Amino acid sequence: MRVRSEIIKFAVVGGANTVMDLAVFVALIGFGVPPLMAHAASYGAGTIQSFFLNRSWTFGGSSAGHSPWRQFGRFATVNLVSFLLGSMILWAGLGMGLPPLAAKLASILGGFFCNYGLNRAFVFRVPLSPRSA
């Protein structure tokens, strides 16, 4: 049950992060910033917001007693992996002729479950009891 609740919360936080990510991306594209550079900046803004929301709400119970700096280091590593995956998807989409926003949306979709799984297992891990799965 806990995992389902976490996935729902992770999705809600992801929605908030996606809004921030897309808003920054669209604004930067509007100012003429190249899509991959805009992606880097917008992903970074969403990542910072994501850490604080996931630490305090999504995985809140697993944050007790853990150093926030150590968790942020792990979180940054997970998000670097997700960023690289998203960048490859964005680059491939642009190469296939997709508009920048469509390629960006594909990159967001492509990284969601990978990001959740890595955060659950590596950053905000808690031993699960047989009942909580």
pLDDT digits (tens, 9 = 90+) for 32-74: 999 989 988 998 898 889 999 998 898 876 555 667 888 889 9
pLDDT at 25: 93
Whether residue 109 is contained in a domain is answered as: yes
CB atoms within 10 A of CB 108: 21
**pLDDT for 133:** 47
Q: Is residue 131 part of a domain?
A: no
Cβ atoms of 42 and 107 closer than 8 Å: no
The number of domains in the chain is 1
For 10, 56, 61, 93, the CA distances from 100, given in Å and listed in that order, are 25, 33, 38, 8
Question: What is the pLDDT, as a whole number, of residue 65?
Answer: 63
Percent of the chain past pLDDT 90, that is, above it, reads 38
Q: Is 74 inside a domain boundary?
A: yes
Give, in order, the Cα–Cα distances in Å from 10 to each of 5, 25, 101, 114, 119.
8, 21, 23, 12, 10
Domain boundaries, position 98: 2-123
50 in a domain, yes or no? yes
The CB density around residue 66, as the number of other CB atoms within 10 Å, is 16
pLDDT of residue 131: 56
Residue 103 lies in a domain: yes
Model pLDDT, residue 43 = 81
